[in-house]
């Protein structure tokens, strides 16, 4: 897909470097601290895990480089995970492409009534108040996201225009039917298990039934649409 004169917003390159540096420094520090702590554990506790016994036998000359390498490996893994799970936005006057870990969603400009941040999420809605997209954008520069959409002519609002219409979900409450409660329970379980693709699918199924759902303080909230 070619998007001319597009603006692209992605996670800052500083984030993976920071993760790598923090993990490397942690490994360096553990290289000095781990052997004496492990020796104390071996001498004091009745049983200890095998890795502690190995660390107890190491000198600082060995533990520091070994744990530094472990820290670098952990930093690289965390950095790749952070990049893969972060939202990338490519927006121009024709539409917006939202990409997360290879999953792409294109929203044509003609369908977008408004764009806004709702907590950690970036939300695009149509003229019927239904959500065209909701994606976690917490890793992105908020000002850069706002400027990208406004520069290409999208209507940006600083707050959720339906903020006062959300209700905190209570399982089994008579305001919702059992089928809706079932979908919300499944979504809660999917989020708890970090099955984000499943949670996104359930979000769409709920909206098809006239229910918009979001998350606040680890609880689900909903509003109705016609």
For the chain, the domains span: 14-85, 87-161, 162-226
pLDDT in tens, 58-103: 677 767 777 677 766 776 666 656 656 688 999 999 999 999 877 8
Average pLDDT in the chain: 85
What percentage of the chain carries pLDDT values higher than 70? Answer: 84
**In this structure, are residues 88 and 104 in contact, taking their beta carbons and an 8 Å threshold?**
no
- What pLDDT, on the 0 to 100 scale, is given for residue 201? 93
Q: How confident is the model at residue 34 (pLDDT cuts 50, 70, 90)?
A: confident
* Strand boundaries in the chain, DSSP class E: 7-9, 87-91, 95-100, 103-108, 114-118, 121-125, 131-136, 156-157, 167-168, 211-216, 219-224
**In this structure, are residues 139 and 11 in contact, taking their beta carbons and an 8 Å threshold?**
yes
Burial 170-209 (b: 16+ CB within 10 A, else e): eeeeeebeeebbebbebbbebbeeeeeeebbebbeebbee
- What pLDDT, on the 0 to 100 scale, is given for residue 167? 95
What is the pTM (predicted TM-score) of this model? 0.71
User: Given a cut of 60, is residue 1 above it in pLDDT?
Assistant: no
Q: Is CATH 3.40.50.300 what the domain over 87-161 is classified as, yes or no?
A: no
- What pLDDT, on the 0 to 100 scale, is given for residue 3? 61
């Amino acid at each position: 897909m070619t998007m001319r004169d597009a603006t692209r917003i992605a996670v800052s390159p500083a984030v993976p470097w920071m993760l790598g540096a923090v993990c490397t420094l942690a490994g360096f520090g553990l290289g000095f601290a781990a052997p004496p702590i492990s020796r104390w554990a071996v001498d004091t506790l009745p049983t200890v895990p095998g890795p502690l016994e190995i660390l107890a036998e190491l000198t600082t000359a060995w533990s520091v480089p070994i744990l530094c390498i472990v820290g670098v490996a952990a930093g690289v893994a965390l950095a790749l995970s952070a990049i893969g799970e972060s939202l990338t936005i490519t927006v121009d006057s024709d539409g917006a492409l939202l990409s997360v870990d290879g999953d792409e969603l294109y929203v044509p400009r003609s369908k977008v009534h408004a764009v806004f941040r709702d907590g950690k999420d970036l939300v695009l809605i149509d003229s019927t108040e239904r959500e065209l997209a909701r994606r976690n954008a917490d890793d992105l520069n908020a000002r850069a996201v706002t400027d990208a959409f406004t520069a290409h002519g999208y209507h940006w609002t600083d707050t959720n225009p339906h903020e006062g219409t959300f209700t905190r979900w209570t399982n089994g409450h008579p305001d919702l039917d059992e089928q809706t409660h079932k979908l919300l329970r499944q979504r809660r379980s999917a989020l708890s298990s970090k099955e984000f693709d499943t949670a996104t699918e359930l979000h769409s199924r709920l909206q098809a039934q006239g229910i918009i759902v979001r998350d606040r303080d680890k609880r689900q909230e909903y509003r109705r649409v016609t």
